[in-house]
Each structure stands twice: as C-alpha cells, then as structure tokens.
Amino acid sequence: MPIFNFKYYGFKYYGWFTAIILLCFSITSKGQNSFGVRITPSQIVSPKVTNTSSALIYGERRLAFDAAVDYRHELTKNFSIGTGLNIGLIDFNHVMIAPVDAFGSGTGSGKIYINSTNDNFVYTGLILTPDYRFKIHRSTLHLSSGPNIRAYYGNEAPDVSNYAFNRTAPWNPVIDPADFEVSIPSAKGKLRVDLTTSLTIERRVSERTNILFGIRYNLGFKPISEGTMYVNMYGQRFDGRFDIRSSYIGLDLQLRYLTKAPNSGYDRLAPIASDNQDFRRAIYIDVLGSSPLGSINYDMRLKRHHNDGLGFRAGFGLGSFVQSDYTKTSRYYSLPIGVSYVVGPKRHGLEAGIGYTAQFLTTTTPPDVENNSSFANLNIGYRFQPLKDGLLFRLYWTPTFKNNDFYYDQPGDANFHTQWAGASIGFSFR
C-alpha cells in the first residue's frame, strides 16, 4: 500500500483551496476583476549538504523557472485576492573535489573534480495570492504573499550518480561499492506547500492593461527530495545527506488585463497626471552583449512619455555552440532579461543596468557538456532614442558573471569576465 495517496490527498487539499476562493469571491460582487499572466526566472537555493568527510561536496545555485496564470478579485479598495495555476522547473547538480590519493590505489597527486547535473524536478500547482495595493510618492506598488500547493512529477526510480576513482583494475559496480555516490529519491506524487511573496510596481499600458515588475521570493518549508550520499576515502566510509530545496529569489514579470475600465465603478489608487500618455517602447536586435551571438528584444521605459528613467527588456536569441573536442555543433536558444536606468531625457542618454540570460541546448550532448547554461551581466553605455518614432541605437560594455557554462567548470576557471560588449539597433515607438 502506498504511503501517500496522491488522488485522495490531492483532491482533499485542492477542494478546500477552491472552497476558500469561492467564499472570498462571494463576499462582494462589486469591484474590479483581472486576469494575469506571470513569468519568474529565478535562481534556486543550493542543496543542503551534510558531509562528514574531508572531501568538498556541494551543490550550486542553479537556474529555475516558474510561470502562472491567475484570476484576481477586489475585496476592498486596496485589497484583493486571487487564485490560479502555476508550473515550474528546478535544476540542480552535485560537485565533489578531493585528493586523488584518497581513493583506490592510494597513490597519485592532484585533485579529482566531479560536476554533474541531476534530473530536473517539474511541478504544477495551485496558488492563492492575497494582494495589498499601496502608494509611495507617485508610484503604485503591490505586496502579495500566499501559499503555493505543488505536485511534483518525474521518474519513479531514484536519480543515482556513482563514481570510482584511481582504481588499478576496472570497476564493477555490481560487486564493488562506489567511491562516491549521490542518490536522490523520486519526487513523483509528492505534495509540497511553499510560501511565495512578491513586491512589484504597477504601470498602466492601456485603459485595461497593466504591467507589474518586481522581485519574488519563494520559501520552501520542506525539501523536495531528501537524498543520501556517501564517500569511501582513505579506507573509511563517510555517510551524509543531499537534500534538494525549492526556495528561490527571482524577477516577477506580470501582465494583467482588467475586466472593466477603471473609471466604471472602480476607484483606482491615485492615478498620476500622465496616465493618458504613452510609454516609450522599442524593438531592437542585440549583437553580442546580453546574448552571446544575437537576440531580438522588447524594451519599455516605465516613466510615461519619457526616454529616461527605469525600464525593462526581454528577448529571445539563437546561436550555435561548437564543441571543440568534437565535430558536432549544437543549436541553442537564449532568454535574456534585464532592467536598466537611463539618465538623459532627450535623444542621448547614459544607460546602466543588470540582466540575466539563460541558454538551452536543443540536441543531445556528450557526457562533459551540460544542456543549459546561464550568466548574469552588468551593462553601461550610450543610448540614442528619438523623441518621436524612429531609429534606436545602443553601444555598451557588459561585464558578465558566469553561473554555469555548457562545459563543466574546472578549478581555477574565471567566473567574472570584463572583456565583453554589445551593440543594438532597432525601432523606437510610442
């Protein structure tokens, strides 16, 4: 008999969740409703490792992704509540560094370095999002915090990685124990309840459309999977743990559509005088820079009818990854996102910002090549944007900080690179 009956408990929790939402929505029929779409690229917290050996064993912070659709209902002027569905992916790895002579024959010099990516965790879930809207100066902000009930999917078999080092004879894993092993039980059928909090700033795009941009933090109370590991070194076995966690911090990008115009029985929080003016937008091609080869990007300033101030960008890029030790070339795609601030209200401006780019290979790769990579970047440079519709041009310097590369990192690899730049050309419009 299974310890966890997903069909029963899943229905039980989801049923209570739905009942609470229907009750909240039945309290009042007045007020504003909205539908929303959210994407959250983020960085997952590293696995929690319990290690009693002298080897260095850890997991890195890796790329994660969460997306959601929701429905939100206004209960009071400043308070609303929403519910929806989300889907996400969590990536993790394990790293082990130890002396060569600690294993096998006990001879040799140097270090053994293992960096391997484990199977991803995929989940779907229900979200409850109480939302408080408030004003600071001339900006409208949203503070949301609520539970996320997740159901995880994956293979039923555990994800086991085992290694043997410095052996004088070929290793037979059937009869000989490994020198290093990490075993992650399957999370298939497990329910987890996390707490998600976000702080966003609201900007109106049209009469019924708003965008929200900010940060999101997810707190996981219990590991997704409680893994085990052991190391056989210097003739002794050391047991430990390798727990996969779901906490993350990331960007919060939302697009919301109001079911009725704000002036039809809805008291919007202190609209600013420039609400009837348009945002400055741009679509441009970026060469090098935030996407190693090239990408097409959408850019928007969040200060109405201004070329300067805070803004964001998001794009999609393609490229070719050439494996130097093989004749094979793999296609990859990239997803660059970022925020920036422009100084200079006229055509010429100084632009500075931060960004994050995720890249994904689309073909099967050899054992020493990862299927994804990511890096963060800074950018500072010149920006030309016309006061009316017209040509946009950017030229900038962009130092990058590598999170993980397609090739596994080796000890001594540089993670911070300053010799990189980019250029953009596109069309700016209102």
3-class state of residue 43 by DSSP: strand
193 and 54 fall within a common domain? yes
Contacts 24+ apart (CB under 8 A), 334-337: 334/291, 334/292, 334/295, 334/358, 334/359, 334/360, 335/41, 335/359, 336/286, 336/290, 336/291, 336/295, 336/297, 337/41, 337/251, 337/253, 337/312, 337/313
254 and 288 fall within a common domain? no
Residue among 182, 225, 209 at smallest CA distance from 35: 209
Q: Give the per-residue pLDDT at 69.
A: 94
Q: Which of 258, 273, 306 is the last residue of a domain?
A: 258
Q: Give the per-residue pLDDT at 233.
A: 94
Tokens at 365, concatenated? 């790769």
Can you tell me the distance from the alpha carbon of 353 to that of 341, in angstroms, rounded to the nearest whole number? 6
CATH classification at residue 172: 2.40.160
Residue type, 391: L
Residue type, 340: S
Considering the domain boundaries, does residue 270 fall inside one?
Answer: no
Could you tell me if 379 and 350 are in contact, meaning their C-beta atoms sit under 8 angstroms apart?
Answer: no
101 and 137 fall within a common domain? yes
183 and 296 fall within a common domain? no
CATH classification at residue 415: 2.40.160.20
DSSP 8-class letter at 280: P
| Residue ranges, the chain, pLDDT below 50 | 1-11, 26-29, 264-276, 321-329, 364-369, 405-414
- As for how many domains the chain has, the answer is 2
Considering the domain boundaries, does residue 16 fall inside one?
Answer: no
106 and 251 fall within a common domain? yes
Considering the domain boundaries, does residue 196 fall inside one?
Answer: yes
What tens digit of pLDDT does each residue of 358-390 get? 877 655 444 444 566 777 888 888 999 888 788
Can you tell me the distance from the alpha carbon of 319 to that of 363, in angstroms, rounded to the nearest whole number? 13
What's the angle, vertex CA 395, arms to CA 393 and CA 400, rounded to 5?
135
Q: Which residues pair with 229 in a beta bridge?
A: 182, 240
Considering the domain boundaries, does residue 37 fall inside one?
Answer: yes
299 and 416 fall within a common domain? yes
63 and 188 fall within a common domain? yes
93 and 196 fall within a common domain? yes
3-class state of residue 284 by DSSP: strand
291 and 249 fall within a common domain? no
Considering the domain boundaries, does residue 299 fall inside one?
Answer: yes
Length reported for the chain = 430
Considering the domain boundaries, does residue 36 fall inside one?
Answer: yes
Residue among 249, 352, 267 at smallest CA distance from 308: 352
247 and 325 fall within a common domain? no
Q: Which of 226, 258, 290 is the last residue of a domain?
A: 258
Q: Give the per-residue pLDDT at 386.
A: 86
Tokens at 371, concatenated? 């299927």
407 phi, psi to nearest 5 deg: -85, 140
Could you tell me if 255 and 275 are in contact, meaning their C-beta atoms sit under 8 angstroms apart?
Answer: no
Q: Give the per-residue pLDDT at 328.
A: 46
Residue among 290, 219, 223 at smallest CA distance from 249: 219
254 and 287 fall within a common domain? no
229 and 192 fall within a common domain? yes
Residue type, 203: R
Considering the domain boundaries, does residue 368 fall inside one?
Answer: yes
Considering the domain boundaries, does residue 5 fall inside one?
Answer: no
Domain hosting 369: range is: 281-429
